Structures are given as structure tokens and as C-alpha cells.
Chain A
């Protein structure tokens, strides 16, 4: 695994200013923020590496009250006579599975329990955009550009993250990819970024003997043309070469992971599987975006076995679970997964076995350094006076608080005022404090950590019981994604020569 190359401060320091400007398109210098550039450290342990981000957008306003069920709320059951997921203690076979004594997972999503129990999956409930007006298209746009009601911003928050951070690799070819036919707003304006509908099938057709010569012509024609086609063509050509180095057809996921319906060659499971292959190839891609359409469940929402939303949720959760087993439990570069939607749905179901447009929904985060195994929320309640405009779940957590913390803590970029303009985010603790080797969380790595380190390795449950506020992932001292005997040498080294 070549996961320790070209990401560190050494590489960064060796970049001349000119190279840096070329690498970032000059964006950093023009932003006047060079002095506050992120300081990228060598990934000597899992704390110091920058994550890849996998951004998944649920188009159509996914129902947060089904994705993460508030089963202790009587108002939820009163408002949803046909659509509510029964509580965990129900004898109904469609009952929820408890997450934390208040919220539960719907039956379609139990495949996410291993990730949740490993502490890698976090739900952020009652989350969204305060200014959301129940329009899909306005809400998506403003969430994706990172500022409500500002129609003068044309590029996405993730695009501006990439514009204001150095690439993983000095010779980056493809910094971000949308697995789709077009670029969605989140990535519009990003450097070295194109949409690729199918990562495993991306090449020029025609007579093999003339491909090279035809390609030269296209290179020349587009190199002389204006943006954005000039960059798009250049990225297309280099991405063809890049992707053809990766053997997608024979990719075998790790950890026994099975991506749902991947064999059909399209759909979310297939997209996730090819994304995993791309990420594990470690070719410098920093961001991958995938959309899932179809969450606008005004009618026939059907969250139970075989139903419409059941199938959507099942595909989503199986894809995420496979990615967790395949990538997050494996070695290699860390990935933070963000699952978001434009808004949630009305508390009260309509007469069509569906729900109309609402306000807050649920965001999902997954990663080795996500402070998961929890439902993070300032729960506003579902009583009439607690609802937004008397009908919808209130937004109590601004979506930018979550994304900004990910950007700062996991993507190593502190240019938050550019990425989320005119907003001062409040970090909500969605990422774990980094404590590689500090298993008793006293702020130091020393001999006192040896016993908890051993316990974290051999008896995770006992460790977590003894140190409930500490991060067991700190025992992954060699940053290979596993907590095992291979961490001992690194731990020893850390104590002897910190």
C-alpha cells in the first residue's frame, strides 16, 4: 500500500510557490489566505492524515424520521398511523432496532449495525438548513453552495475546499470525481474534477491504430479553447489513462464485503464498489460524489419489507455497510463518508401513504474518526408547539456546523470562511479528538497507556467500559485500519521516542 506517499508537510514545503499555484489553480494566493493554509503533516499515525471524502446526496428530501426513528415520541406514532416504524420492543416484525434508548434503525437499515457498534457511524438528527423553503431545487442549491439564499455563488462547498487546499499529490490528475453524467452543484467549480458515469468503462472508441493521433488532435483543439471545456478535455484525457490502470472488473472487496446488486453494473452498490476500488488504488483522488435519486416520497412511502422506501434504504445501508467492511475496516487512507439530503418530510403523513415536504432531516457520517455509535442531536421534540411552522421537525443543527468540522478536522482545511461564507460554524463534536496512543486520554502517551492499549486490543468492550470517553481508535497506532498486534511496535516506539 502506498498510502504514505506525497501527503506530508515535507512535500508541501518542497513545493515552490509557483508549483503550488499551478496545483491549486492560484486559488489560494488569490484568496489572500496563504498564511493560514492547512498544515499537512506526514501520516505517522491515523491522527495526522487527511481523509478522502465520499459525499452521498439523497435527492428528493429523505425522511429523517424513518432513517432514524424517534421511537419514544408519542407524537410520531399519532401523526403516522401507517408509516411509523414500531418501537424496538414491539412484536411487529417491522420494529425498529434500538440505537441509544430513544432512536432506532428501521428494519431496512440493520445492515448498518456493525458500523454503528464499531463507533464509526453517526446520525445527526434534526439537522438541515434553517432557511429551507420546502423547494427541492432551492434547498439543494443553497446547501450545496454552502450559504442560504445567495444566488451569486456558483461553485460548491466541496469545490471550494479543493480550491483552498493543496492536492494529495503534486502531480494530481483527478482530485475529485462525480460518479454520474454531470457535475452536481457540490463539485461545480472544483479543480481537476469531472463526472464519470462508469469508472470501469472510460475510453476512446474507434480504430485502435489511430487513437493516439486522434487524441493529439483533441488535445490541441481543446488546449486552445476557453474554460470550462479546456480543463474538462484535459481531465478527460488524463483520467482515461488513470482509470485504465485500475482493474475494476477483477476488484475483490476486502472484509467479505458484498455491495448490493453490484453485478448488474449500475446503481448505488456498483457505484460504491467502483468508488472503493478507486479509493484503494490511492491515485490521488480526494473526493468522490454519488447521488441517489428518488427520496421524494409523497405517495406510497412504504418503509417496510419490499416497499419503495424500504428498498431505497436497504440499498443505501447495504452499500454503506459494504464500504465500511471493505474500506474503513481495511488498511489504507482513511475516508469520511457524508450522507445528506435537502430537507426532511412532514411529521404528519398525508392520505396517500406518503409525506409532504418538511424541514429538518438526518445527516449520516461514517468514518474511523467519526465520533460514531451515537445519535447526535439537540432534539426539538414533536409536540405541536415544538414543530417548525406547526408542522415540521425543527432544524436545531445547521448543516454547515457538521460539514465545517469535517473540513477542518478530517480534510485538514481551515479556510472555513471561504467554504462557508458569512457563517461562523459551531463544531458539534462529530469527529473524534485525535489521541493516537493516548489510550487513557490523559493528554500524554507514556507507560500509563500500555495497560489500556493492551485492553483496547484484546477486549474492546472492557476497554470502552473502563474508558467511556476515550477513543479506542487511538490504539491503531500504525494507522492501518486495524487494532492488532501490528500496532505494538509502533506503540512501543511512540512511548520510547515520542
Chain B
């Protein structure tokens, strides 16, 4: 029995490491956390009883959670057909989702209208509601996964300055229009967004005493990455280029809290960014030049490609895959769709290690699998909060972590959400016995339906059998079946995608 299969059967990792080969012992200790990830692929592959299906894998990767109908659609279109269907998101009719989201008025307010509201709590709440509702119900699932990705990539502190008022505008007018468009256009739209400027203090930056916050994170988090080769002097020079990029005061009619370039605050001298001279007197164009330099930079292509591969394929993607996606960026001027097309047509689905759903993904996928009906999402916010991932509430600029070891320890909120969801304990979000059990009267029939809903029929047989036993003796009550549904959603295999 090899190391991997022992691990899958429940032996302790560290006990197994003890018996590992000649690797220096200290090195083994240092890397213990890292080895965990590498065993997962084997775990998943061995546990599955259905043969591996690349199409089923793809549905898991590019949606917020599998549903029966989505899997049927994907199977009918095939791997490439389904990928193209989701990439061509504007062709997917999503009117029902849009209709529901538009019931929340601030989602469509202009900045100056938002600025007039005395309290921002309604604005933030409606943005969170829209995010959750779209994730669960939108037919443009890959698009919503990309919106989530960019919300983390361009994360703002929604409590800071006037961000509670206009953070929703960043989402609507910068991220959503470009989520599957051009990366240089996206990074430019974000740079012109007042919430980003406020969240990273650029609105306060003045010539001579520039504020470095946005400039550093533009380089480190948004484009080149921390190892992208820039220096402290580059940070300083980029900050100088961005002096004067601010927002109109909230009191200005029709313009309050929208973007403003203030020449009086701009540093007019010559700047040198990444070796490129930006002559004196360029005004607002200085920073536009910086954005153009960064958007065309191979370091940006590499960094964005690496993050996309981590998001969709693996915590530690192969360098060859990242290179291919980066090449797609350079060949197309940063076309996000083309990068994703390259990613999913170059990668080896069967070799992908499973990724742990973050709390948001896990809870949304539970609602999708069970066909939950949300008539008012507001009570859901508290559950997302308790699980540590209420949308738009991560304060530092790096976004919610996408790290296995960050989230793996906190299982209880997932289990409790599953129990509340299937037990109809959440106000205004309901699950239907007819949908979940399709009239099943035996434990086995109920399990088959739950397996189909939650795993597309690929639930590991040992887990399936253990939950079936929970419903015995046969002819389980609806309450018992609902508890079984919670156990399926709480099962270890459901936590991965």
C-alpha cells in the first residue's frame, strides 16, 4: 500500500511521513503542509466509482456548483461546446436573474445618487444580496465565477471612506463589464474607480507628499505581482504619476463621488517607471501611460495567468500551463476569454488536484444542488457571515484567501448551513422535498436522487452507503431524508470541486 492510498484510508499524514524515504527529516517537517495537497487528487480519483468525466469536471470548475440540469446541458454540448457556451456569456438568456436583482434599487444608482443616501447600509446589503443571488441563480456561471475572481483580485475595504456608498459601482461599472473582456481595459476601469482610489488612499495623494498605497498594490496585487521586478523607486514614481486621481466631493451635484482628475494635486515633473521615461507635463496622461505599460507587460501576463490557473485548475499549477495562458495574454493583448479558452483546452482535467470550496462556494453550491428557492436573500447574509465569507467584507487588498490550509479547519458553519438549508430553517430560502427526493420512499432511492443532484451521480459509494444507513429502517420520514440531504452536503467529498 503506497503512501497516498494509506492517507486516503485515514492514516495520519505525519505518521506516514515518518516512514518516508531519505528526504532530510527537517525538510519533511517544513513541507508537511504542502504535501497535503498532493494527496488529494489520488484521494478523489480512488474514491469515485463512476469513470472520470472531463465534462463533469469542467462543470465543477467553471460553475458555482453542479446542478442536474447544468450537467445534462454540458453532457449534451460536450466539453468544448459547454466551455464555449459559458464563455459566450452574453448569448445566455439571464433575464430572470437580472429581473430579481433589479428589484434592489441601489444596484443601479449612479454615484451621486448613492452619495445622497444618509446611510450606506442598504447599499452594501443590496450588493451582497445581488452577489449571492447571481451566484446561485445566474445561468452565466463562468461569468459569475470570474466576477468573484476579480472581486478578490481588485478587493476593496468596503468600510473605508465612502466605499460603503460607492463600492457597488466598482462592481457594476468596472468589474462586471470587463470580467470576460480585456484585462488592460479592466485594470484601467478599476484604476478610474473612486472606491479603489479611496480604499487605497490615492484620493488623498498630493504632489510632493504622494501616497504610495495604491501605486504599490497596483504593481504587487493587480498587475506584475510581488516578484515582478519593480523597485521601491518604481512604487514612488507610479505614485507620483497617480497624484491627482481622486473623486468629486459627495456634495457635487450629478458628479459626487465619481472620478475626478485634480491637476492641482498632480506632480508634474518627469517620472521613470520600469525604465520608461514619462516626460514632465503629462497631467492625467501620466497614469494612463503607466496603465498601458503595465497592461502590455509580460510580467502582468505571467502573474494573471498564474492566478487564473490557480483559481480554475490547481493550487500549484504546472508551469507549462501557466506559460501557455500567459502566451495567450501576450498574443491577444490580454483577452480574458482567450486566456480561459487556452487554459481549459491545454490543461489535463484528469490530472487536476481537487480544490476545496471556500465557504461562499460551498454554501452557494449547496443551494444550487438542492434547487433552493430564494424569495428574499437577506436572511442568508448572516449565514455567510458566520462562515467567514460574507461577500465584499474582506478588508485587506488581497481578497479572500484561496488557500486550502486557510479554510480547511472551519467545517462547522458548512455543516450547520446544510442542516438549516435542508431543514428549511432559513427564512425565505426553501428547499422542496419533491425536488430533493422526487417521491422516493426508500433510503436507496432517496440516496440515488441526492447523488444525482449533488454529485452528478459520482458520490463515492462508501459515503453514499453510510448516509443511506442513516435513513434506515427503510421508508424514512421526510424529516429523516432532509437530514440525510444535509449529511450529503456536509460530506467531505462535497467540499471539493
Show the binding face of A for B, using Cβ within 8 Å.
Answer: 21, 24-27, 29-33, 59-60, 133-138, 152-155, 159-160, 163-164, 178, 180-184, 188-189, 191, 193-195, 197, 202, 204-207, 210, 213-214, 217-218, 220-233, 235-236, 240, 293-294, 296, 298-300, 349-354, 356-357, 389, 417-418, 421
CA distance A297 to B210 in the complex (A): 14
Q: Is the CB of B211 within 8 A of A229?
A: no
**In the complex with contacts A154-B31, A224-B10, A417-B26, A389-B232 CB distance below 8 A:** yes
Tell me the dominant secondary structure on chain A's binding face: loop
Q: Point out the residues of chain A lying under 8 angstroms from B77, CB to CB.
A: none
**In the complex with contacts A152-B31, A421-B30, A204-B208 CB distance below 8 A:** no
Q: Which one of B80-88, B125-133, B212-220, B446-454 is at the A interface?
A: B212-220
Interface string of B9-36 (1 = CB under 8 A from A): 1101111011010000110111111101
Q: Is the CB of A217 within 8 A of B466?
A: yes
Instruction: With CB as the reference atom, state the residue of chain A lying closest to B214.
Output: A298
27 contacts between A and B (CB under 8 A): A25-B15, A26-B12, A27-B29, A133-B226, A134-B235, A155-B33, A178-B409, A180-B388, A181-B389, A182-B410, A183-B408, A183-B409, A188-B33, A189-B33, A205-B420, A206-B416, A206-B486, A228-B404, A231-B12, A240-B412, A293-B396, A294-B395, A351-B209, A352-B206, A356-B211, A389-B232, A421-B26
**In the complex with contacts A207-B483, A218-B487, A299-B201, A351-B211 CB distance below 8 A:** yes
Give the interface size bracket for B toward A: 35 or more
Q: Point out the residues of chain A lying under 8 angstroms from B205, CB to CB.
A: 350-352
Q: Is the CB of B408 within 8 A of A229?
A: yes
Q: Is the CB of B29 within 8 A of A418?
A: yes
Show the binding face of B for A, using Cβ within 8 Å.
Answer: 7-10, 12-15, 17-18, 20, 25-26, 28-34, 36, 39-40, 43, 200-201, 204-206, 208-213, 216, 220, 226, 232, 235, 359, 386-389, 395-396, 398, 401, 404-413, 415-416, 419-420, 423, 425, 462-463, 466-467, 469-470, 479, 483, 486-487, 490-493, 495
Instruction: With CB as the reference atom, state the residue of chain A lying closest to B43.
Output: A226
CA distance A135 to B486 in the complex (A): 42
CA distance A195 to B17 in the complex (A): 24
Q: Is the CB of B28 within 8 A of A30?
A: yes
Q: Is the CB of A197 within 8 A of B30?
A: no
Q: Point out the residues of chain B lying under 8 angstroms from A354, CB to CB.
A: 201, 204, 211
Instruction: With CB as the reference atom, state the residue of chain A lying closest to B4.
Output: A226
Query: Which one of A184, A352, A418 contacts B201 once the chains associate, using CB atoms below 8 Å?
Result: A352
User: Of B30, B201, B406, which is in contact with the most chain A CB atoms at under 10 Å from its CB?
Assistant: B30
CA distance A240 to B483 in the complex (A): 20
Q: Point out the residues of chain A lying under 8 angstroms from B7, CB to CB.
A: 226-227
CA distance A217 to B489 in the complex (A): 12
Q: Is the CB of B409 within 8 A of A182?
A: yes
Instruction: With CB as the reference atom, state the residue of chain A lying closest to B466.
Output: A220
CA distance A298 to B25 in the complex (A): 43
Instruction: With CB as the reference atom, state the residue of chain B lying closest to A181.
Output: B388
Q: Point out the residues of chain A lying under 8 angstroms from B409, CB to CB.
A: 178, 182-183, 193-195, 228, 232, 235
Q: Is the CB of B25 within 8 A of A31?
A: yes
A to B contact number (C-beta, < 8 Å):
238
Q: Point out the residues of chain B lying under 8 angstroms from A194, CB to CB.
A: 409-410
Q: Is the CB of B410 within 8 A of A197?
A: yes
Q: Point out the residues of chain B lying under 8 angstroms from A60, CB to CB.
A: 396
User: Of B213, B216, B416, which is in contact with the most chain A CB atoms at under 10 Å from its CB?
Assistant: B213
CA distance A353 to B43 in the complex (A): 53
Q: Point out the residues of chain A lying under 8 angstroms from B26, CB to CB.
A: 31-32, 417-418, 421
**In the complex with contacts A30-B28, A224-B462, A229-B411, A21-B18 CB distance below 8 A:** yes
The 9 closest A-B pairs by CB, nearest first: A181-B388, A351-B209, A154-B33, A25-B14, A352-B204, A154-B34, A189-B33, A298-B213, A299-B201
CA distance A225 to B7 in the complex (A): 8
Instruction: With CB as the reference atom, state the residue of chain A lying closest to B388.
Output: A181
CA distance A232 to B406 in the complex (A): 12
Instruction: With CB as the reference atom, state the residue of chain B lying closest to A226.
Output: B43
Q: Point out the residues of chain A lying under 8 angstroms from B491, CB to CB.
A: 221
Q: Is the CB of A225 within 8 A of B412?
A: no
- Other A-B contacts than A152-B34, A218-B415, A298-B213, 6 sampled, CB-CB below 8 A, are A29-B18, A30-B14, A137-B220, A137-B226, A182-B388, A352-B201
CA distance A215 to B292 in the complex (A): 56
CA distance A316 to B31 in the complex (A): 34
Nearest chain B CB to A387's CB is how many angstroms away?
13
Q: Is the CB of B492 within 8 A of A214?
A: no
Nearest chain B CB to A399's CB is how many angstroms away?
18
CA distance A195 to B406 in the complex (A): 9
Q: Point out the residues of chain B lying under 8 angstroms from A222, CB to CB.
A: 492
Query: Which one of A59, A164, A204, A299 contacts B211 once the chains associate, using CB atoms below 8 Å?
Result: A299
Q: Point out the residues of chain A lying under 8 angstroms from B466, CB to CB.
A: 217, 220-221
CA distance A159 to B10 in the complex (A): 21
CA distance A205 to B414 in the complex (A): 11
Query: Which one of A160, A206, A231 contacts B29 once the chains associate, using CB atoms below 8 Å?
Result: A160
CA distance A163 to B469 in the complex (A): 38
Q: Is the CB of B15 within 8 A of A21?
A: yes
CA distance A471 to B205 in the complex (A): 50
Q: Point out the residues of chain B lying under 8 angstroms from A137, CB to CB.
A: 220, 226, 398
Q: Is the CB of A217 within 8 A of B470?
A: yes
CA distance A168 to B206 in the complex (A): 55
CA distance A152 to B29 in the complex (A): 11
Nearest chain B CB to A212's CB is how many angstroms away?
12
**In the complex with contacts A30-B29, A222-B492, A227-B13, A59-B479 CB distance below 8 A:** no
Query: Which one of B389, B412, B423, B486 contacts A236 once the chains associate, using CB atoms below 8 Å?
Result: B412
CA distance A252 to B8 in the complex (A): 45
CA distance A27 to B232 in the complex (A): 41
**In the complex with contacts A188-B406, A193-B409, A240-B412, A214-B10 CB distance below 8 A:** no
Nearest chain A CB to B138's CB is how many angstroms away?
26
CA distance A207 to B484 in the complex (A): 13
CA distance A194 to B212 in the complex (A): 36
Q: Point out the residues of chain B lying under 8 angstroms from A231, CB to CB.
A: 12
CA distance A352 to B415 in the complex (A): 46
Q: Point out the residues of chain A lying under 8 angstroms from B9, CB to CB.
A: 224
Q: Is the CB of B10 within 8 A of A299?
A: no
Q: Is the CB of B30 within 8 A of A155?
A: yes
Q: Is the CB of A183 within 8 A of B211?
A: no
**In the complex with contacts A26-B18, A299-B213, A225-B405 CB distance below 8 A:** no
